[in-house]
Amino acid sequence: METRIAVIAIIVRDPESAAGINALLHEYDTFVIGRMGVPYRSKGVSIISIAIDAPQDKINTLTGKIGRLHGVSAKTVYAPND
């Protein structure tokens, strides 16, 4: 199956959603290349970026599940296909 390389950008405004995000990332851990999280305490948000190499439908599903969590926004940027 063909895979795509992408970055999922996640903005977390509700810290209670962290457990849900971590559970989803664990579920898709075979596709995750790496992750970086930065707490921006003065604004009350956390910023997480996930580098992923997976089939496009898996990436879309993961992004959608994360984005449906309370107080969480998620968007995906794909690397161009060459």
Cα–Cα distance measured from residue 29 to residue 40, given in angstroms and rounded to the nearest whole number: 25
Going by pLDDT thresholds of 50, 70 and 90, the confidence category of residue 6 is very high
SS3 31: coil
Per-domain boundaries in the chain: 4-78
Q: Which CATH architecture has domain 4-78?
A: 2-Layer Sandwich (3.30)
Mean per-residue pLDDT over the chain, rounded: 96
Q: Using the predicted structure, report yes or no on whether residue 82 has a pLDDT greater than 90.
A: no
Cα–Cα distance measured from residue 8 to residue 37, given in angstroms and rounded to the nearest whole number: 12
pTM over 0.85: yes
pLDDT digits (tens, 9 = 90+) for 19-42: 999 999 999 999 999 999 999 999
